[in-house]
A and B are shown apart, each in its own frame.
Chain A
Amino acid sequence: MPKMSSRLVARPSFEITMSDSRTVFELQDIRRTYQVGSEFVHAIDGLDLQIQDGEFIAVIGTSGSGKSTLMHTLGFMDSPTSGQMSFEGEDVSHIGRAERARLRSTRIGFVFQSFNLLPKLSVLDNVLLPLIYGRQNPTNKKELGLSVLERVGMEHRASHRPSQLSGGERQRVAIARSLVNKPRLILADEPTGNLDTKNRGRIMDLFGSLLDEGITLALVTHDTEVAQYAQRRIRMEDGKIVEDDGR
Chain B
Amino acid sequence: MNPIVDIYTGASNGLREVWANKVRTLLSMSGIILGVAALVAMVGIVQGMLGNMRASFERSGGVLRLEVYPREAPESQQHIAGISPGMTWRDIVAIEKAIPLADYVTPIVDMSWESFIANGRRERSMLHGVTPDYAGISNRKLDYGRFIADSDIDAKSPVIVVGSYIAGDLFRNIENVVGQQLRVRGQVYTIIGQFEPTASRGFGRSRRGWNYEDRMNYIPATTAMSRYKGDDGVNRIEILASSVEAMPDLMSQINNTLTQTHRGIQDFEIRTQDEQMQELKKLENSFTYSLGGIAGISLIVGGIGIMNVMLASVSERIREIGVRKAIGARGHDIFIQFLAEAVVISILGGLFGLVASVGLLTLAQDLIPQGENISNMPVTAMFYGFLFSSLIGLASGIYPAMRASRLDPIDALRYE
Contacts and interface: CB of A to CB of B under 8 A. Distances in A.
Interface in A87-141: 97-98, 101-102, 104-106, 110, 112, 116, 118, 120-121, 129-130, 132-135, 137
A75 B328 contact: no
Nearest to B20: A120
B409 interface: yes
A113 to B, nearest CB: 10
B326 A97 contact: no
Interface stretch (B145-153, B161-169, B299-307, B316-324): B316-324
Interface stretch (B66-74, B329-337, B377-385): B329-337
A238 interface: no
A102 B9 CA distance: 17
Nearest to B323: A116
Given A77-B409, A77-B410, A132-B9, A106 B328 contact: yes
Given A134-B328, A135-B1, A137-B5, A120 B17 contact: yes
B325 interface: yes
A222 interface: no
Contact of B327 (A78, A121, A133): A133
A177 interface: yes
Interface in A142-179: 177
B328 A104 contact: yes
Nearest to B10: A132
A72 interface: yes
Contacts, number: 63
Nearest to A107: B328
Interface residues of A, number: 26
Contact of A130 (B9, B16, B328): B328
Interface size class of B (residues with CB under 8 A): 20 to 34
B413 interface: yes
A133 B5 contact: no
Contacts of A134: 328
Contacts of A101: 325, 328-331
Q: Which of A77, A132, A133, A137 has the most CB of B within 10 A?
A: A132
A172 to B, nearest CB: 16
A75 B326 contact: yes
Contacts of B323: 112, 116, 118
Contacts of A130: 327-328
Given A120-B16, A133-B324, A97 B330 contact: yes
A118 B327 contact: no
Interface in A49-106: 72, 75, 77-78, 97-98, 101-102, 104-106
Contacts of B322: 116
A75 to B, nearest CB: 7
A77 B327 contact: no
A129 B324 contact: yes
B111 to A, nearest CB: 86
A78 B410 contact: yes
A224 B103 CA distance: 104
Interface string B3-37: 00100010000001100100000000000000000
A133 B329 contact: yes
B17 A133 contact: no
Given A101-B325, A134-B328, 4 more contacts: A77-B409, A129-B327, A130-B328, A132-B329
22 contacts: A77-B325, A77-B326, A97-B330, A97-B331, A98-B330, A102-B328, A104-B326, A104-B327, A105-B328, A110-B327, A112-B323, A118-B320, A118-B324, A120-B17, A130-B328, A132-B333, A133-B329, A133-B333, A135-B1, A135-B2, A177-B327, A181-B328
